[in-house]
Chains A and B, each alone.
Chain A
Amino acid sequence: MWFSPAALHIPDGFLTPLIAAIGWVLAIAMIVIAIRQTNRQLGERQIPMMGILAAFIFAAQAINFPVAAGTSGHLIGAALAAIVMGPWAATLIMTAVVAVQALLFQDGGLLVMGWNIMNMGVLAAFSGFFTYRLVRRYAGASRGATLAAASAAGWISVMVAAVATALELAVSGTSPLVLATAAMAGVHAFIGIGEGLITMAAVGLLLATRPDVVQGGAVAPGQRSASYVLVGLGIALLVALFSPLASSSPDGLEFVAEQQGFLGLALSSPYEVLPDYSIPFVSNPALTTILAVAIGALIVFGGAVLIGWLATRREAARA
């Protein structure tokens, strides 16, 4: 199990065929764009470079460290890949990683691989990349700001992937929406800290030894096209995922709401971002959870900007 850092590899049978097909359509579209974008930057270096870096991400997921209570911190790697290589190259790298994990080790299903690619590849890479970019834009490009940006990118990328996974499971009727989102968000808020710390230290080492890699940065940036994609993807996801939720609540939702004791237990994890993961004035409990995660992400983002800004000022004062 050493190559399975987080409960994000959906196995076959957990998503309905229709949902799985939607995932494949989205994933293939993104992969085709990613291939074109990286090819423009790398030319015939593309295949050996992407292939070896995908093997690197796979190997890096094995590097762990013990955290409390028998669990261990690992890397998923999408944020790190996106920071150093740009979001398109990271999409391609993570796609290869997910594919090998599914084809060779049955870690994640074949029919549902489209969504696994979307969650751990596209969504994690793009959210990590934009977090990193935005924090550095507001906080400056000093060493401290870069490190703060990298750790926020790591945490947010894991959260985005986890919430997306929970939504897909809920829409397929495999896991009740409220519990899935709350549990996934709760557990991964914790796992994401490990991701953030490792990403930060890795970027720190690169800054010290090969600053050209981080500063020159993105191998295949394509930033403007990337932001269009992010917006389009966000809208598509919201429409696709919320149309079944908005029309009629899946069975079980009301039941959970009745059994508040059960809900309370799932939500009382010690590492939550907001108490109860719920905001009083929003009535749908699932939307509340997602909103709470979004606010948590904003807090992390704001904190990273603040820390980065302070670090930039201090480094400037020292210089």
Chain B
Amino acid sequence: MHFDLTDQYRARPSAIHRLDPRVKVVVAVLFILACSLVPVGAWAGFAGLLVLVVLASAGSRLGPAFALRRSYVALPFALVAVPLLFTVPGDVIFTVPGLGWTASAQGLERFLSVLLRSWIAIQAAILLTAVTPFPDLLWALGALRLPRTLVATIGFMYRYLFVLTDEAARMLRARAARASHPPGSRRPGVVWQARVAGNMVGSLFLRALERSERVHAAMLARGYNGQLPSLTAHHLHLADWIATALAVLLLAGLLAVVYRR
């Protein structure tokens, strides 16, 4: 049994997939930065960014709605921005019956802008993961001067992620098989259940620690000397430069129009 942890990469024969991973990372980050820079209430700016991300989704042959479909992930967090509705002073648009809180138009504008920013930004992140194989993504982060040790650690984590989540899934299944509580029986206390969960975490830790020792020994046996050599090599082609320039121009132009208003 596997958790639904399938790789998020979607292979397609598209020009966007073929771009250098560095270009894809930089463009995605610039796009997210542009999302954060669009001022409150600049609906045209948000619409423009949304069009861009849908076009990129279509251009990578994932279908225009690919990123849209998965973009609900960040929505629960929007709860923390809901109070803006009631705390930003301004023209009253409605009053919550019974409580007397008043929602203002300005508050609604702020709330919707925060929501749109994160909703559009997350689509760029979803797209980045969908068009770039994770090892290439990590290679790009290393090439963009993130600490190499950190990148190598993340790479290692990715390699064993599925092994250890499967291990955790087996433990959860074993617990479910042994600790069922038939209808009518008393539910065990929270503290007892927390202890069981904690013991599972503890034994998972020991298994992980011992696995890391075995893996390290196996690596040493194969000549590991602290460096992880990489066979990946990417080169920036003309298409990469054009794509970067196009993206920068589009985003800068969009922001210029939004701020000119």
Contact = CB atoms under 8 A, between A and B. Distances in A.
A109 B157 contact: no
B212 interface: yes
Nearest to A49: B212
Contacts of A261: 99-101
Contact of B226 (A43, A175, A184): A43
B204 interface: yes
A129 interface: no
Contact of B157 (A7, A58, A75, A176): A58
A110 B29 contact: yes
Interface residues of A, number: 92
Interface string A178-205: 0110011000000000100111111111
A39 B121 CA distance: 35
- Main secondary structure on B side of the interface with A: helix
A10 B86 CA distance: 22
A100 interface: yes
A53 interface: yes
Given A17-B37, A48-B216, A63-B171, A213 B209 contact: yes
Contact of A106 (B125, B165, B203): B125
A14 B114 contact: yes
B227 to A, nearest CB: 8
Contact of B129 (A52, A99, A106, A201): A106
B154 interface: yes
A12 B53 CA distance: 15
B190 A47 contact: no
Contacts of A51: 152-157, 159-160, 212
B143 to A, nearest CB: 15
Interface in B23-43: 28-29, 32-33, 35-37
Interface hub of B153, B204, B211 (most chain A Cβ within 10 A): B153
B168 A62 contact: yes
Interface stretch (A90-98, A232-240, A278-286, A305-313): A90-98
A82 to B, nearest CB: 13
Interface hub of A13, A43, A60 (most chain B Cβ within 10 A): A13
A174 B114 contact: yes
A253 to B, nearest CB: 8
Nearest to B67: A106
B87 A198 contact: no
B94 to A, nearest CB: 15
A284 to B, nearest CB: 16
A202 B199 contact: yes
A258 to B, nearest CB: 10
Interface string B6-34: 00100000000000000000001100110
Contact of B199 (A10, A17, A201): A201
B202 A52 contact: no
Interface string B124-166: 0110010000100100000000010110111111111101110
A95 to B, nearest CB: 6
Contact of B36 (A17, A59, A75): A17
Interface hub of A12, A44, A96 (most chain B Cβ within 10 A): A12
Interface in A244-290: 251-252, 255-256, 259, 261-262, 265
Contact of B212 (A53, A68, A80): A53
A142 to B, nearest CB: 19
A225 interface: no
A116 B99 CA distance: 35
Nearest to B199: A205
B150 A67 contact: no
A103 to B, nearest CB: 6
Interface hub of B89, B126, B171, B198 (most chain A Cβ within 10 A): B198
17 contacts: A1-B76, A14-B118, A17-B36, A47-B152, A48-B219, A60-B168, A62-B165, A66-B193, A100-B154, A102-B125, A104-B129, A106-B129, A109-B74, A110-B125, A197-B198, A198-B194, A204-B195
Interface of A: 1-2, 7, 9-17, 20, 28, 31-32, 35, 39, 43-56, 58-60, 62-68, 73, 75, 80, 84, 92, 95-97, 99-100, 102-107, 109-111, 169, 173-176, 179-180, 183-184, 194, 197-206, 209-210, 213, 251-252, 255-256, 259, 261-262, 265
